[in-house]
Structure 1
Amino acid sequence: MLGKPRVAILSPFKAWGGIERKMVILCREFLAQGVQPQLILTRGGVVPYPDEIPSEVDVVDLASGGKLDSIRKLARLLKEDPPDALLTAKDHAAKVAVIARRLSGCPVPVFVKVTNTPSQTLRRRFKRWTARLLYRQADCVIAISEGVRDDLTTHFGMPTDKVQVIYNPTVTPDIPERAANAVDHPWFQGEGPPVIVGAGRLTGQKDFATLIEAFACLTARQPARLVILGDGPLRESLRQRAEQLGVSEAVDLPGYVPDPIPYFARAALFVLSSRYEGLGNVIVEALAAGVPVVATDCPSGPREILRNGRVGRLVPVGDVEAMCHAMDATLCDPPRSDVLRDGLDRFRSDRVALQYLQVMGLKST
């Protein structure tokens, strides 16, 4: 391999989001380990976190419309300027990459990153069928948790030797500095009831309705406040639910915040109430910020991160009473800081990036 190896990352990126954040971190770590990252934008994608992405990252905008247009333009790019490896994020990009490589005749290896539990996210029959057909044509599928890997092999017929588990690069060196940043919210200033934090897009997947109901149950046992960070289509219905339960004065939905870490660092408890996840990155971020965690035992990720409940309490999905009890017990008897840190090295950004480069054959094992 002559010169600096180059890995292209294909996706219809948004300006912000969990997948986008992790790819920016990987780009930063790839550069630090002597590998040149290139973002290939498809289907109206934009540069993610433009104020944070390193200027050394190359950007190619395919300016493509639908999937067929993306395939045609990517195939041309692979013929003209093939990278040493092609990594995809999101289902659209995975399928485009596999087909475009075949059309181009270019032998560039393709690595498909699966970021959520596919049996939950790929609901349409055609999407599931094409995933079964095309994912196995990649050189390797990278699952972000063991649960995602098991879902791929059980529901999508992926051969076990084609799936590699690599956790997300969530624990970065700047977390202590970010945790020290000020929080512009009155509930995090000075004395007051303990603040419980939830975070994520306000959709049915995150099931914040159950969290609010469990919180209402908790307030009958002890005073507390609840802040749910994020935005989404269910924001107003969640506000209404808090009002119906009589806890609207103790529940706040401030919307999207660029960095939740300072909020986590000042919280008494973080709660993940999701019906399903790929991994549950916010759990890792909360633990890295030093806050105890309660999480649903949903597919996939929380049980892995929380070491089968040794690091934080796990509760059944949608179980209001169990969540209320776990929140109450954790606030009354929080785990030690060394317990919270148990296993976080698995998510260190430099270590994760090296795993990616080794799997893609760009670094020796």
Structure 2
Amino acid sequence: MEKKNVLFFIYQMGGGGAARTLLNIINNLDREKFAPKLVTLNFDGSYEHELKSDVEFIKLRTTRLSRSIFSLSKIIKEKDIDIVFSTIPRVNTIAILATRLSFSKAKCVVREADNLGGTFKEDLQLRGFGMMYKLSNQVVSLSEGVKENLVSKYKVKPSHIEVIYNPVDIQHINHKIVTGKVDSQFQPIFETGDKVIITAGRLVEQKDQTTLLKAFAKVNEEISSQLVILGEGPLKDSLISEAKQLNIENRIHFIGFQSNPYIYFKHADVFVLSSIHEGFSHVIAEALATKTPVVSTNCKSGPSEVLNGGEFGYLCPVGSVEEMKAYILKVLKKEKDEVNQMIEHGYRRAHDFDAKKIVKQYEEIFLKTLREK
């Protein structure tokens, strides 16, 4: 079988979940069937160094997404691309246009990763994205909840959508845990004897770390604890200010982006996700893979699917300080045997999202798309 050229297009290989997903797909793609190529805008990304050496990596000479259409279409044509794969609505729009303008055999597969919309203006914009998605050859949704959102707000036909969960590279995570170590400047946090609560994600409104800070303050009144926050974003200063108002600033640790977050997860007592909305929530699947108990908001739509309605971790209402506190304390107060049982149960669940299994589903979608006229 002749290898199929698959071009992956993303804004940048930064520290977000979309980039991590593309990395996992690219690195685990069957090299006997596919030749992966990656195209980004002219940015440096945190995950670039983790790409396998055989991946052809091209950076466009622009940092403006709108100016990338013609250069991307030229690459699609010159590199004899069979499949163009992208994620995130605006990036998807550019990928679809570039594929069409390449006047080549290439087919376009786009991935939708979040439950977007809400206001009239946002929903109207999603209708626009939906019109573009109809010009793609295949839409991939990373959860059933996101698929429902694509149908109701983007007005994409259900028959045009395939659900594929995010791939979690468990082998890579285990390697990172075995070979990695906590940075020396953060080591003291894990040596206090306190319980350690951890979260990871962009410091933005969607992730609602403010609710987590308030819940943590109440947890700390009952059990001496530390809160570790991985990630960067525009709300850092306001979150620091909130911590000071709650009088917990000495127990909150903003440690930024970490190329090996898994070693931090592994050393924590519980991972907490406080998001207002998610598509899948890659990070809680990764937390389960590090054998860390999980507490998450029951936001639309990923966490409930990852945790199977609360079977593999605790779910609390979005924005509920009291219930988040209660579930965190429930984990922290468990006997060791109960914690170990919860950990092993969650670890088995993580294997449902193992990259090798999930990437095979992507390979099937790529080949199916190529067979269709």
Please report the TM-score for the alignment, with normalisation by the length of structure 1: 0.91
Asked if the contact 2:88–2:111 (Cα under 8 Å) also holds between the matched residues in 1, the reply is: yes
> 2: CA distance between counterparts of 1:133 and 1:336?
44
The aligned counterpart of 2:102 is: 104
Report the Cα offset of residue 150 of structure 1. Answer: 1.1
CA–CA separation in structure 2 for the residues paired with 1:172 and 1:120: 35
Aligned residue among 153, 172, 175 for 1:174: 172
CA distance in 1, matches of 2:227, 2:174: 23
Corresponding residue for 1:239? 240
Equivalent residues of 1:8, 1:85 under 8 A apart:
yes
Q: Distance in 1 between matches of 2:263 and 2:63?
A: 38
Q: 1: distance between equivalents of 2:363 and 2:272?
A: 33
**Residue number in structure 1 paired with 2:277:** 276
Structure 2 counterpart SS, 1:192: coil
- Cα distance change on mapping 1:33 and 1:244 into 2, 3 Å: farther
Correspondences of 1:74-113 after superposition (within 5 Å): 74-113=72-111
CA distance in 1 between partners of 2:168 and 2:96 (Å): 28
1:210-229 mapped onto 2 (5 Å cutoff): 210-229=211-230
CA gap 1:102/1:121 in 2 versus in 1, 3 angstroms: farther
Q: Report SS of the residue matched to 1:173.
A: helix
1:192 positional shift: 0.5
Q: 1:115 to 1:40 in 2, by over 3 A?
A: same
What TM-score does the superposition give when structure 2 sets the normalisation length? 0.89
Larger mean Cα displacement after TM superposition, 160-169 or 61-70: 61-70
Instruction: Show the counterpart of 1:16.
Output: 15
**Offset, 1:241:** 1.1
Q: Separation in 2 of the partners of 1:23 and 1:55?
A: 15
Q: 1:131 to 1:211 in 2, by over 3 A?
A: same
Alpha-carbon distance, 1:257 to partner: 1.6
Kindly state the Cα deviation for residue 48 of structure 1 after the two structures are TM-superposed: 5.7
Q: Secondary structure at the match of 2:117?
A: helix
1:117, 1:171 → 2: CA distance?
24
* 76 and 177 in structure 1: CA distance in 2 versus 1, 3 angstrom threshold: closer
> Would the alpha carbon gap of residues 132 and 362 (structure 1) be closer, same or farther in structure 2, given more than 3 Å must change?
closer
Distance 2:62 2:350 in 1: 39
Which residue does 1:351 correspond to in 2?
357
Q: Distance in 1 between matches of 2:92 and 2:20?
A: 18
Q: Distance in 2 between matches of 1:253 and 1:168?
A: 27
Q: Do the aligned partners of 2:107 and 2:136 also contact (CA within 8 Å) in 1?
A: yes
Between the aligned partners of 1:171 and 1:27, the Cα distance in structure 2 is: 11
Deviation (angstroms), 1:314: 0.4
1:21 Cα deviation (Å)? 2.1
Contact 1:31/1:37 (8 A) holds in 2: no
Partner residue in 2 for 1:39: 38
The Cα of 1:261 is off from its aligned counterpart by: 0.4
Shift of 1:363: 10
Cα distance in 2, alignment partners of residues 28 and 38 from structure 1: 11
Distance 2:254 2:43 in 1: 28
String of CA shifts for 1:207-240, please: whole Å, max 9, x gaps.
1110010011112222221111111111121112
Moved more, 101-110 or 277-286: 101-110
Contact 1:357/1:363 (<8 A) preserved: no
Q: Does 1:194 align with 2:195?
A: yes
Segments of 5+ residues of structure 1 without an aligned counterpart are: none
Task: Note closer, same or farther for the CA distance 1:139–1:362 as it changes in structure 2 (3 Å cut).
Answer: closer
Q: Deviations over 1:46-67 (max 9, x none)?
A: 5662322122111233424655
Give, in angstroms, the shift of residue 14 of structure 1: 4.0
Query: Is residue 75–residue 101 contact of structure 1 (8 Å, CA) maintained in 2?
Result: yes
Taking the TM superposition and a 5 Å limit, the aligned residue runs for 1:1-365 are 2=2, 4-32=3-31, 34-42=33-41, 44-46=42-44, 49-64=47-62, 66=64, 69-119=67-117, 124=122, 127-180=125-178, 181-184=180-183, 185-190=186-191, 192-333=193-334, 334=339, 335-361=341-367
Aligned-residue identity in percent? 30
- CA RMSD in angstroms comes to 2.5
Deviates more, 1:60-69 or 1:24-33: 60-69
Moved more, 61-70 or 244-253: 61-70
Number of residues of Structure 1 aligned to a counterpart in Structure 2: 363
Conserved? CA contact 1:117–1:148, under 8 Å: yes
Q: 1:357 to 1:121 in 2, by over 3 A?
A: farther
Deviation at 1:122, TM superposition (A): 11
Cα separation, 2, equivalents of 1:94 and 1:186: 41
Q: Structure 2, unaligned stretches of length 5 or more?
A: none
Amino acid at match of 1:209: T
Q: Deviations over 1:76-130 (max 9, x none)?
A: 3333333121101222221122223333332321100112223269964664232
The CA distance in 2 between the partners of 1:136 and 1:169, in whole Å, is 25
Say if 1:111 and 1:45 are closer, same or farther in 2 by CA, change over 3 A. Answer: farther
SS of 2:20's equivalent in the other structure is helix
